[in-house]
C-alpha cells in the first residue's frame, strides 16, 4: 500500500472524481488536494474480499481501476448481489461518518486499484480544515432535504406502470377479458346455445336455419374463441408485467428490511455487551 499522493493527483482532481462524491461535492480544489494527500492507494487481486458485512467501517474507498460486486447475506447465508461498481464509483462513505458496521460485503471481481481514506485520516483532515466540516454538514442537510422531498413525491409503481403502458388497445383487451370472465357472459352464452340448439332441433325442418351438426354455430364459436384468446393473452401479458414489477419491489424491500434487521441485531448485541461490561465493572 502506497500513499496516493506519490502519484499524480491530476487524474483524480481534474476529472472531478472527488467532486462527484456527495459528501465532498462542495469542497474547493485545494481542499480536495489536501484530502487526496491523506488517501492511500491499495491493490486488490481478483476475487478477494475488500470488506465484510458487519465489520467495523474504518475506511472509505474510491475505485480507481477495476470492478467490484456489492452483496448482502440473506436468511440462509447466501450472498445476494445488490450492486456492481466500476471505475470512478465509491463505497463506504456512510461508515466514514458514523464508524458503524458495514452494511454489505464488497468483493473484487477483477484486479482492483483503490484509493482508501481511513476514518482517522478523515478526522485529521476535518481538524485541519474546520470550515470544510461546515460545508459537508450543509451539503448533507441539503441532500437529506432533497431525499425527503423525493419520498413525498413517490408514486405507486403499479399506477405509474398503468399510465405509461396502457393504450387504447390494452384498455379494450382488458375490458373484453374482464367481461369474458364474468358471470353474465357465461349465462348469456348458455342461454344462447340452449336457444340455438332448441330452435334447430325442435322446430320443423323448414324453420331451422342451422340444422345438425350446427355448422354455423361451430364457426361462430371457433371465431369467438380465437379472438377471446388474443384479448385474454394481451391482458394476461400486461398483468404478468405488473406482477413482475411487484415482485421486484417486494424483493428489494425485503433485502433492505433484512439488512436493517441484522444491523439492529448487531447494535443490540453491542449494547448488551456494553451493559454486561458495566455490570462486571460495578461488581
Q: pLDDT per residue over 203-227, tens digit each?
A: 888 888 888 888 888 888 888 888 8
SS3 of residue 46 by DSSP: coil
Q: Choose among 117, 120, 105, 119: nearest CA to 51.
A: 105
Strands (E), 228-270: none
Say if residue 49 is in the same domain as residue 146: yes
Q: Which residue has the cell 459537508?
A: 136
Say if residue 171 is in the same domain as residue 228: yes
Q: How many CA atoms lie within 13 A of 271 on its CB side?
A: 6
Once rounded to an integer, what is the mean pLDDT over residues 171-189?
83
The cell numbers describing 119, all together, are: 476514518
The string of DSSP letters for 89-155 reads -EE-HHHHHH--B-SSEEEESS-EEEEEEEHHHHHHHHHH-HHHHHHHHHHHHHHHHHHHHHHHT--
* Predicted structure pTM score: 0.47
Quick one: DSSP state of residue 7? Answer: S
Expressed as residue numbers, the domain containing 49 is: 2-152
Say if residue 265 is in the same domain as residue 239: yes
Q: Indicate whether 92 pLDDT > 50.
A: yes
Which of 152, 187, 207 terminates a domain? The answer is 152
Q: How many CA atoms lie within 13 A of 149 on its CB side?
A: 6
Q: Which residue has the cell 364459436?
A: 221
Say if residue 127 is in the same domain as residue 214: no
Mean pLDDT is highest, among 13-17, 89-93, 124-128, 189-193, for 189-193
Integer Cα distance of 75 and 189 in angstroms: 52
Q: How high is the mean pLDDT of the chain? A: 76
Say if residue 6 is in the same domain as residue 145: yes
Say if residue 162 is in the same domain as residue 119: no
Say if residue 181 is in the same domain as residue 266: yes
Reported as type and span, the H/E element at residue 211 is none
Which of 152, 187, 208 terminates a domain? The answer is 152
Amino acid at each position: 500500500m502506497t500513499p496516493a499522493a506519490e502519484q499524480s493527483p491530476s487524474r483524480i482532481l481534474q476529472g472531478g472524481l472527488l467532486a462527484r462524491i456527495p459528501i465532498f461535492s462542495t469542497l474547493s480544489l485545494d481542499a480536495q488536494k489536501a484530502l487526496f494527500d491523506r488517501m492511500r492507494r491499495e491493490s486488490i487481486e481478483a476475487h478477494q474480499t475488500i470488506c465484510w458485512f458487519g465489520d467495523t467501517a474504518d475506511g472509505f474507498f474510491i475505485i480507481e481501476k477495476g470492478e467490484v460486486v456489492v452483496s448482502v447475506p440473506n436468511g440462509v447465508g447466501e450472498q445476494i448481489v445488490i450492486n456492481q461498481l466500476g471505475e470512478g464509483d465509491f463505497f463506504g462513505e456512510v461508515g466514514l461518518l458514523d464508524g458503524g458496521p458495514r452494511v454489505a460485503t464488497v468483493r473484487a471481481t477483477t484486479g482492483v486499484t483503490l484509493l482508501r481514506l481511513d476514518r482517522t485520516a478523515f478526522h485529521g483532515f476535518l481538524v485541519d480544515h474546520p470550515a470544510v466540516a461546515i460545508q459537508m454538514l450543509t451539503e448533507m442537510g441539503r441532500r437529506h432535504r432533497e431525499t425527503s422531498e423525493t419520498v413525498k413525491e413517490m408514486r405507486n409503481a403499479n399506477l405509474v406502470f398503468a399510465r405509461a403502458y396502457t393504450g387504447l388497445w390494452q384498455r379494450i383487451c382488458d375490458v373484453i377479458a374482464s367481461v369474458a370472465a364474468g358471470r353474465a357472459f357465461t349465462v348469456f352464452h348458455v342461454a344462447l346455445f340452449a336457444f340455438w340448439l332448441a330452435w334447430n332441433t325442435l322446430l320443423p325442418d323448414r324453420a331451422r336455419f342451422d340444422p345438425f351438426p350446427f355448422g354455423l354455430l361451430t364457426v361462430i364459436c371457433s371465431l369467438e374463441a380465437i379472438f377471446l384468446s388474443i384479448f385474454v393473452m394481451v391482458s394476461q401479458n400486461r398483468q404478468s408485467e405488473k406482477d413482475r414489477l411487484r415482485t421486484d419491489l417486494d424483493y428489494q424491500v425485503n433485502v433492505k428490511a433484512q439488512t436493517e434487521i441484522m444491523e439492529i441485531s448487531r447494535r443490540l448485541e453491542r449494547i448488551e455487551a456494553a451493559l454486561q461490561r458495566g455490570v462486571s465493572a460495578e461488581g
